[in-house]
Structure 1
Amino acid sequence: MSVENFASAIGEAIGASMEKALEEKLIEIADLYGCHYLTSGVRNTKSGTKVKKLLMSDNYGNEYDIDGVFANENMQPLILFESKYIRYKKHNRDKASWICNAHSAVRRRYHSIRSSIAVLAGNWSGSSQAMMKSNDINLFFVPFELICALLLEVGIEFYWGEKEKIKAKDAWYKYNNLTFEQKTLIGRKMVSLIEVQLISLIENILDESIERQVKKIVVEIVSSLGEVKVFEFNTIDNALEFLGQDDLKNVFLITDSLSLFDPPPIFDE
């Protein structure tokens, strides 16, 4: 196999190893709850074969390649999963924004989905983490330093700069010479770091003893000029009172609209 970018190649291999180990663990958990963990489609193509990718669509027919999903016995999705490895933070925003956009769009179509989970390995910036958290995505991290330590255990130096191509090439060839068992173990050790917390969260998400209650009501109003305004209410009564106003078009008076001079919002950690 011809490799042009050795750093990218070993990164993809490590990410795939973690994803495989995560899949093993999630299948195990899914079985305990009578669920299915899927990483490919269940519908047939026109030729009659199963769809290889797990493509889930939004309300407008756009399809998103999701890494994995927990589904119940009726194949209704319950939890969306993403597994991503990134070495350099400069790629964070692209990956994070894709996850936010894809999961938000898919969740608006499949109202059975209860949660989104992303297992992130490598280096992830605070801003990309904040972006995903603001979109209600639960995050689990496998630090880059841990990956370096795991690879060093098998004689692979992984802590090198972006332009150190010789070291990247050496790391790739050494990784390629590892046995299947060694590569598998690296992925499992990565997942073991977040395993306990991940299982605990999934158990809470799938807990059927929790009574369903309305957590909040979100009202989005769109004007004929394209303006959009979103309102959130804690109770149904408050939302109905708001919607019962005689003249809702007044909510679009631009006197209270933010300007480009206004600073971004600040939230407490």
Structure 2
Amino acid sequence: MSKRSTKAPDNPGSAFGQAIGNMFQERVEKIQREVVERCGYRYHSGKDPLPGYRGATLRIRDRKGHEWQIDSAVTDQRNHVVIIGEVKYIQRAKHVTDKGSWICNCHSLLRQTYPTIRASIAVLAGGWSKPALKMIRDCGTEVFYVPYEDLVKGFSEKGITINWTDEGSAQASQEAWDTFSLWSEVEKEEIADKVVQSIAFPLAERIEKFLTDTTPRTVQSVEVSIKTNKGETIFRAFDTLQQAQEFQARVDFGEFFQE
């Protein structure tokens, strides 16, 4: 370990969690960038804005003009967005519903806005619950997940306990931060590699498949949303265009509303 002068944070638990999140995100982005550039596409993250945008964060507008800050995007040679992505580490499960709902809402709106998007990807780690992961997958987002247990084991082997209880969190988080702050960059890279080991290959393989797929386009499914003048919404999903057209041709409000 190489000792460095580090100012003690006011909240070591929060600082340590942020450090893990940053380390995880940097390693995931490295994996993604390598495969994206190898396939001839451009990878955007952090301070690398999309064409037509300015600022220090990666932002993109939906069809209603709202701007969303996302973690990554992939564009083709014509600057069309083809993949959008999030990388999220969560220490405590109490935040997963809010974070998961945000991913669902953001990615769904962006996919409605940009027909060139082939995939939305969420690379997650930490205390994500099964219901939260299912919710994100059900919204059409590909999920690559590093379980909290894998993080606990990886850091434990390096002398850091991260699964502290609320009662002992003050001392445990301080000890974790003190040890982590003494790590060299090489040591941080080693633990980052270990943490993402289970998802590194499948993540890269999946991205490559999205970017190199030459299968002719066909209709996979059709969704019909009808909004009435009273604010009601009728939603149906079909396997073919013909089924959707037949439904629209015979829509009868009496079938849905008993008045």
In the alignment, which of 183, 191, 196 is matched to residue 186 of structure 1? 191
- Is the 2:31–2:204 Cα contact (8 Å) retained in structure 1? no
Aligned letter for 1:82? E
Q: 1:196 is paired with a residue of what secondary structure?
A: helix
What are the Cα deviations for residues 31-79 of structure 1, in whole angstroms up to 9, with x where unaligned?
Answer: 111011101313467xxxx422111111111111100012111221111
Shift of 1:187: 1.7
In the alignment, which of 1, 5, 13 is matched to residue 7 of structure 1? 13
Q: What percentage of residue pairs aligned between the two structures are identical?
A: 31
Aligned to 2:3: none
Matched, 1:171 2:203: no
Q: 2:219 is paired with a residue of what secondary structure?
A: coil
Matched, 1:144 2:152: no
In the alignment, which of 72, 81, 85 is matched to residue 85 of structure 2? 81
TM-aligned CA distance change 1:137 to 1:42, over 3 Å: closer
Q: Which is worse superposed, 179-188 or 82-91?
A: 179-188
Matched, 1:233 2:241: no
**Superposition pairs of residues 199-214 of structure 1, within 5 angstroms:** 199-214=204-219
Aligned to 1:262: none
Shift of 1:185: 2.1
Aligned residue pairs total 250
**Structure 1: segments with no counterpart, 5+ residues:** 256-269
Aligned letter for 2:10? E
TM-aligned CA distance change 1:43 to 1:196, over 3 Å: closer
Rounded to whole Å, the distance in 2 between the matches of 1:30 and 1:201 is 11
Aligned to 1:259: none
Matched, 1:66 2:70: yes
**Pairwise CA RMSD:** 1.7
Aligned to 1:42: 50
Shift of 1:249: 3.5
In the alignment, which of 204, 229, 233 is matched to residue 224 of structure 1? 229
Rounded to whole Å, the distance in 2 between the matches of 1:117 and 1:230 is 25
Matched, 1:153 2:157: yes
Rounded to whole Å, the distance in 2 between the matches of 1:53 and 1:70 is 15
Shift of 1:250: 3.4
Aligned letter for 1:218? E
Aligned to 2:94: 90
- Is the 1:96–1:128 Cα contact (8 Å) retained in structure 2? yes
Asked which structure has the greater RCO (Cα within 8 Å, sep 6+), the reply is: 2
Q: With the length of structure 1 as denominator, give the TM-score of the two structures.
A: 0.87
